[in-house]
Amino acid sequence: MKLRPKTYVIAALITLIAIVILQNTESVDTRILFFTISMPRALLLFVAGLIGAFAGMSFAAFLRRDKDSDKI
């Protein structure tokens, strides 16, 4: 089975993200509004990435839905 170039790019990005997260294992204090949470920096990076991915997908879905409603 021949893999497409897109598969290689995704694999490389996942590998780079994993390396960055694994190199940042020390604990940091994070202030969120009135709370201070102590967590590993790797977890903070992972959570921030998930929030960013969710926000990006939500925005794209909103734009797609808005464009589809104009066709009706």
- For the chain, the domain total comes to 1
pLDDT confidence of residue 71: 61
pLDDT confidence of residue 6: 87
Give the pTM.
Answer: 0.60
**Residue 68: pLDDT over 80:** no
The Cα–Cα gap between 38 and 14 comes to 26
> Residue 13 belongs to what domain range?
5-71
Question: DSSP letters along 25-66, please?
Answer: -SEEEEEETTEEEEEEHHHHHHHHHHHHHHHHHHHHHHHHHH
Mean of pLDDT over the chain? 86
Torsion over CA: 9, 10, 15, 20 (sign): positive
Report residue 66 as tokens.
């808005």
Segment 17-34 shows an average pLDDT of: 87
